[in-house]
C-alpha cells in the first residue's frame, strides 16, 4: 500500500504544497476572528454593555468554535473512512470558506439587535466544525500519499502551513488597523479580513481539485477492507489503548500552540508592559521561526524516529520557555530572540500527528485520529487560557510552568509508546 523505499517525487511535492497552502488559508479563516476581537465586541453587542463583558462574550463565541470541533471532526472522519479522504478534505474547506465570507457581510447589533451575535455564533460553530475535520483529514491525507520514510517531513510541512495561516491572520489584522483610521475600521474595514478569507477559501478549494485520493484508501477499497461497521464504534471498542496517549499528546500540541502563539503576546502587554506593536512584532517573528521549526522537527523525526524527536523537542521546549519568560524584562531584541528560540522548539508538535496517524489502523485511522485529537483539543485548548490567566495572578512564570508540565508528559509518553509499538501491542 505504501512504498517506504522510494523517494519523494513531483506528485508528492505537489500534494504537500497544495495541502499546506490549503491548510494555511483555512486556518487563517479560523483564527482571524481572534485578531479582530476588539472591533467585534463593539459592533455585535449593546453599546451600554461594559467593555469587559463585551470581550468575555466575544471570547465565548470564539471558544464555541473549539467546542464544535469534535462533532464536525467525527462526522467528516466517519465519511472519510467510508467514502474517501479527498472528499472530506475538500468539503472541510467549503464549510470554512462560506461562513467566513458570511461573517464579513453580517449586520451589526445596531442594525438587527440580538440576532447579530446569534448569527455570529452560528457562523463560528460552522467554522469550528470545519477545522475539526480539516486538521485530522489533512494529516491522514498527506501521510497516506508520501513514502513512509517521509511522513515526518509531510507532517511538518503541513503544520508549517497551519502556522503560516496564523501569521497571515496577524499580518492582515495589523494592516487593517494600520491603513484605516479607527472610525473606518468600525464602519466597514473590519469586514475586509473576513471577505478576504472567503476568497482565500474558494481559491484553496479550486486548488484541491487537483489532488488525488490516497493510495492507502484506494487499496482498502479495492480489497474491500473498509470498516464494516461505524468506524468510531470500532475505535472505541478495539483501540482504547491508543486513544488516551493520543489525547495526552494532543494536550502537548494544543497547550504549546495556544500558549505561545495566541496568549503570550497578550501576556507581554499586560504583565510586562510591552506595547501592542512590539508584542505583535515579537509574536510575528516567533511564528516565522516556528514555521521553519515544524519542517525541521518533521525532517528530524524521519531521521531519528518520531519518539526520539518528540523527547528532544519537548525537553528543549521546557528549557527555552523558562529562558524566554525569565528574559522578558531585558528588552525587545533579547525577548524576540528567545521567544523565537522557544517557537523553534515548539515546532516539535508537528511530530504529534505523525505518531497519531501510526497508532490507528488504516480502516479507522481518520476516525481514531479525529476523535482523540478533537476531543482533547476542545478540552485542553479551551481551558488553557483560563488556567494561565488564573495562574498568572500567583506567578508571573505561569506560562513557562505550564509548558514545562506538558513537555514532561510528552517526554515520558514517548518512550512508553515506542516500547508499545516495538512489542506490537
Question: Where exactly are the structural domains of the chain?
Answer: 1-225, 227-425
Q: Judge whether 1-225 and 227-425 match in fold.
A: yes
317 has pLDDT over 80: yes
The alpha carbon of 257 is separated from its chain's Cα centroid by a whole number of angstroms, namely 7
The rounded mean pLDDT for the chain is 84
Question: Could you give the angle at the alpha carbon of 315 between the alpha carbons of 309 and 317, nearest 5°?
Answer: 100
Listing DSSP states for 49-109 in one string gives S-HHHHHHHHHHHHHHHHHTHHHHHHHHHHHHHHH-HHHHHHHHHHHHHHHHHHHTT---H
* Nine cell digits for residue 71: 462533532
Look at 419 and 320; give whichever has higher pLDDT: 320
Among 70-74, 159-163, 172-176, the least confident range: 70-74
330 CB-side CA count, 13 A? 13
The predicted pLDDT at position 33 comes to 84
SS3 label, residue 50:
coil
Q: Is the pLDDT of residue 252 over 90?
A: yes
* 113 pLDDT above the threshold of 50: yes
Q: What is the pLDDT of residue 289?
A: 97
- Supply the DSSP symbol for 261: I
Q: What is the pTM of this model?
A: 0.84
Average pLDDT of span 4-14? 69
Of 239 and 372, the one with more pLDDT? 372
Residue 247 near residue 240 (C-beta atoms within 8 A): no
CA distances from 163 to 74, 97, 412 (A): 23, 18, 26
**Residue 369 DSSP SS3:** helix
- Residue 104 phi/psi, 5° resolution? -70, -10
Instruction: Give the pLDDT confidence score for residue 191 in this predicted structure.
Output: 94
Distances (CA, A) of 94 to 25, 71, 80, 202, 401: 12, 17, 15, 7, 39
Per-residue pLDDT of 347-396, as tens digits, reads: 999 999 999 988 888 888 888 888 898 889 888 887 788 788 888 888 89
Mean predicted confidence (pLDDT) in 153-174: 89
Tens-digit pLDDT profile for residues 141-151: 888 778 888 88
Q: Lowest-confidence range among 105-114, 212-221, 385-394?
A: 212-221
Mean pLDDT of 56-70: 78
**R_g over Cα of the chain:** 21
Positive or negative: CA dihedral 174, 175, 179, 180: negative
Highest mean pLDDT among 212-216, 238-242, 391-395 belongs to: 391-395
* pLDDT classification of 312: cutoffs 50, 70, 90: very high
3-state SS class at 252? helix
As a whole number of angstroms, the distance between CA 410 and CA 19 comes to 27
Q: Give CATH superfamily name and number for 1-225.
A: MFS general substrate transporter like domains (1.20.1250.20)
Residues 6+ apart with CB under 8 A from 405: none
Burial category of 174 from C-beta neighbours within 10 Å (exposed 0-12, middle 13-18, buried 19 and up): middle
Question: Over 60: is that where the pLDDT of 224 sits?
Answer: no
Select the more confidently predicted residue: 294 or 15: 294
Determine the average pLDDT of the residues in 158-162.
89
- pLDDT at site 1: 42
The label of the residue with cell 517525487 reads 9
- The yes/no answer on whether domain 227-425 falls in CATH 3.40.50.1450 is no
Task: Find the farthest-apart pair of alpha carbons in the chain and give their distance in angstroms, rounded.
Answer: 65
Q: Are the CB atoms for 223 and 129 separated by under 8 Å? A: no
d(CA 398, CA 401): 5
Amino acid at each position: 500500500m505504501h512504498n517506504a523505499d522510494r523517494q519523494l517525487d513531483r506528485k508528492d511535492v505537489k500534494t504537500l504544497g497544495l495541502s499546506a497552502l490549503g491548510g494555511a488559508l483555512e486556518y487563517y479563516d479560523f483564527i482571524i476572528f481572534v485578531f479582530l476581537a476588539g472591533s467585534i465586541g463593539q459592533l455585535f453587542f449593546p453599546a451600554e454593555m461594559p467593555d469587559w463583558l463585551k470581550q468575555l462574550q466575544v471570547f465565548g463565541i470564539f471558544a464555541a468554535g473549539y467546542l464544535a470541533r469534535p462533532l464536525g471532526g467525527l462526522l467528516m472522519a466517519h465519511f472519510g473512512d467510508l467514502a474517501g479522504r479527498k472528499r472530506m478534505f475538500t468539503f472541510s474547506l467549503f464549510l470554512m470558506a462560506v461562513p467566513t465570507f458570511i461573517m464579513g457581510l453580517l449586520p451589526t447589533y445596531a442594525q438587527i439587535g440580538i440576532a447579530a451575535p446569534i448569527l455570529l455564533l452560528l457562523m463560528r460553530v460552522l467554522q469550528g466544525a470545519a477545522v475539526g475535520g480539516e486538521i485530522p483529514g489533512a494529516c491522514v491525507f498527506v501521510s497516506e500519499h508520501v513514502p513512509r520514510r517521509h511522513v515526518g517531513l509531510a507532517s511538518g510541512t503541513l503544520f508549517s502551513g497551519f502556522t503560516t495561516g496564523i501569521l497571515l491572520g496577524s499580518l492582515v489584522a495589523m494592516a487593517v488597523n494600520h491603513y484605516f483610521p479607527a472610525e473606518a475600521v468600525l464602519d466597514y474595514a473590519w469586514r475586509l479580513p473576513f471577505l478576504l478569507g472567503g476568497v482565500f477559501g474558494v481559491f484553496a478549494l479550486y486548488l484541491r481539485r487537483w489532488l488525488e485520493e490516497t493510495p492507502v484508501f484506494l487499496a482498502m477499497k479495492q480489497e474491500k477492507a473498509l470498516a464494516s461497521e461505524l468506524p468510531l464504534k470500532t475505535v472505541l471498542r478495539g483501540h482504547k489503548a491508543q486513544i488516551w496517549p493520543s489525547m495526552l499528546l494532543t494536550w502537548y500540541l494544543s497547550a504549546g500552540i495556544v500558549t505561545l502563539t495566541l496568549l503570550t503576546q497578550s501576556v507581554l502587554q499586560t504583565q510586562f508592559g510591552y506595547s501592542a506593536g512590539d508584542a505583535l512584532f515579537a509574536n510575528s517573528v516567533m511564528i516565522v521561526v516556528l514555521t521553519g521549526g515544524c519542517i525541521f522537527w518533521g525532517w528530524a523525526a524521519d531521521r531519528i524516529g518520531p519518539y526520539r524527536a518528540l523527547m528532544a523537542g519537548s525537553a528543549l521546549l521546557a528549557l527555552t520557555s523558562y529562558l524566554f519568560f525569565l528574559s522578558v524584562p531585558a528588552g525587545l531584541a533579547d525577548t524576540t530572540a528567545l521567544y523565537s528560540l522557544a517557537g523553534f522548539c515548539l515546532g516539535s508538535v508537528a511530530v504529534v500527528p505523525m505518531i497519531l496517524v501510526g497508532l490507528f489502523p488504516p480502516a479507522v485511522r481518520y476516525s481514531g485520529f479525529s476523535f482523540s485529537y478533537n476531543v482533547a483539543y476542545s478540552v485542553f485548548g479551551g481551558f488553557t487560557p483560563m488556567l494561565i490567566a488564573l495562574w498568572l495572578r500567583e506567578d508571573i512564570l505561569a506560562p513557562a510552568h505550564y509548558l514545562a508540565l506538558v513537555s514532561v508528559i510528552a517526554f515520558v509518553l514517548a518512550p512508553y509508546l515506542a516500547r508499545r509499538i516495538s512489542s506490537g501491542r
